[in-house]
Amino acid sequence: MSKLCVLRGRSKFKDQKLVIEFLKCGPKEANKWGHCCKHSDDSVCVDPIECELFTYYNPRFTWRTVIIGHAYIEPVKGGKRKTVGTLLADIIDRETIRDVWYDHMCAVSPIHLLIAGTLFDRQGYMDPELYDDEIKKGSGVFGKEIGEGRLLHLESIVVDKDYRRQGIGAKLMSGLHKVAKKEQVSFIFAFPDTETQDFVACARSVGYRHVARTRVIAYAVDQQHPSRKLDKSLDPEPFAYYHQAHLFDYSTPVCLVISRYIPKFAVQILQKFPLDTDWTERDDGGMTPLHLAAKGISPELLMFLLSKETTYACIHQRTTFGDTPLTALKSSARRVRDMPMGIPAPNLDNWRGYAEDYVECYKLLISAMNEPWDEELEKRVRFGCSCGHCLEGVMSPRVKFYILAYIYESARIIKTRWGAETNENIAKVVSGIFAHLPPTLSDVSSEEPFQRGFATLLEYIGICLEENEIPTADKVGKKLDWYRDMGEGEDTQRYLNLGGTINDALSYLFAGCCYKTWSAVFKELDEAKEIPHCDNDDLITPVRLFACGTMETERPKSTLESIPLDAVLGQMVDMLTGYHF
């Protein structure tokens, strides 16, 4: 038996034996055992099964574990066994790649990307529309819990033609369920092809159910999960997707014009339509002119259509996919943000918020729905806040928590450097904290008054955040003036007198590369896990620009830039591990 075997079982099959065997290869197995087949010299495989496993395993993807299952027929009295079925799956360690979720899923395979884009947002959490929207959620048995923990993807299962409809496929899937339980994975996902109805029927018979009204099916390992109690006859069929791809196939007059011409010319043509034109026409997918204008993020067209009284009948109307004009607008905008070139953006470092056209379209539709529009809502719309609690519409509660944790731990470590419990490691980490400063401060940045003042300044910035204000140099400056009037803040004043600035502290806190490093530690805290998810949880660049403005060009570059920042932060992360707030 292979040393990579993770599960093996035998059962009777007519007058023979059926053996189900699963092999697993992840970073741990690859590093421990490796693979010794050398195909460059046309030599025979030492173990063809292991060879197949290592073919699918990619050492670059340290967050992915490959699983292969085989079904063998063995004669009872001995003889050569025969492979009659195979299964291919993989486990994705989602927590380690949330910052680059779409990018990594795209790197594995198009099917992985399909699942990632269909069910999850850019951080791997379940799309709220799929469990909040009454129409899109389908049976509603799957909720946001499928966006947590590791993910097991069933990529393919093939049974020899002569052995189909004899339970072999079901036994392979049953074996995979046992592997999932052993590996502490809660959910198994599959994205079946439209032509594999036999597989879908088999999967539903063993407990797989559709996630919302999508084509993705999932299996909950926990027998008490609602999906395991849902009768397969009550599992709704997925929405038809055809209408999302036929943008230029409209046959209804108004939609045809909107789809064929740029908004300016489309409005000019539509203005010449007769007075009795049906502005509420629907195509086979339920798409109306209002949906199409919203989908195209066109304020000119929306304004024109909403000038027609009959159009208001479409404002709450849904397509067969469950979209209202407003949700169609949001979906298009999210694709523009997350997939600007048609492929997932690795990060949103260059994103500065939605364009004015999107904000204007949103405002027009909200007003048509007789809902209020104010400055706070405009900020949330502009930056894509989905939780309703982002500071200035851009800093999510999670980002706020991370930065506050970083502030107080940084201040604590700096002050420990000058206390009785200091040691060489703490001194080294503190030196790294001040490595971002310009060379003009190199003589004073290692002195106690400078570092203590910097630590206190960080705490004042934290107070601004706790008062629900994104800290800027002006706001923190006013806070310092208030403390000075109260007779406090002497150490911070000494820091400023020595040449330090408020912007130096803000630059330290909001550097994008730093954020991704230390947030990896804080996200494991229980307090962080309880914070509701928001689409802005990975937006640090817009927050930095809001807090720091263009101050990054106001200082000469540090001569310490050659020091690997990740190395310094890594030492700090090691110190932070285990601390709770």
Q: Which two tokens stand for residue 369?
A: 């729905």
Rg of the chain on CA atoms, in Å: 29
CA distance 49 to 25: 12
8 A C-beta contact, residue 413 and residue 572: yes
CB within 8 Å of 487: residues ≥ 6 apart: none
CA distance 176 to 67: 9
CATH of domain 250-373: 1.25.40.20
> Which fold, 5-234?
Aminopeptidase (3.40.630)
Hey, what long-range contacts does 482-486 have (CB within 8 A, 24 or more apart)? none
Helices marked H in 374-440 — which ranges?
375-383, 397-417, 424-433
- Extents of the domains making up the chain: 5-234, 250-373, 397-576
Beta strands in 333-414 (DSSP E): none
Per DSSP bridges, beta strands 187-190 and 151-159 are parallel
| pLDDT score recorded for residue 563 | 37
In this chain, the answer to whether the domains covering 5-234 and 250-373 adopt an identical fold is no
Sheet containing strand 82-92, edge to edge, reads 5-13, 16-25, 64-75, 82-92, 151-159, 187-190, 217-220, 209-210
Overall residue count recorded for the chain in this entry:
581
CA distance 521 to 525: 8
8 A C-beta contact, residue 8 and residue 22: yes
**Structure-token match 């040393």, residue found:** 3
| pLDDT score recorded for residue 466 | 93
pTM over 0.95: no
What residues form DSSP beta bridges with 67? Answer: 24, 89
CA distance 237 to 194: 12
Helices marked H in 262-309 — which ranges?
263-270, 289-295, 299-306
DSSP 8-class letter at 393: T
**Structure-token match 């400056």, residue found:** 477
Element (H, E) at 20: strand 16-25
Q: Which two tokens stand for residue 72?
A: 């063998």
Residues of the chain with pLDDT under 50: 1, 39-40, 241-248, 551-570, 572-573, 575-581
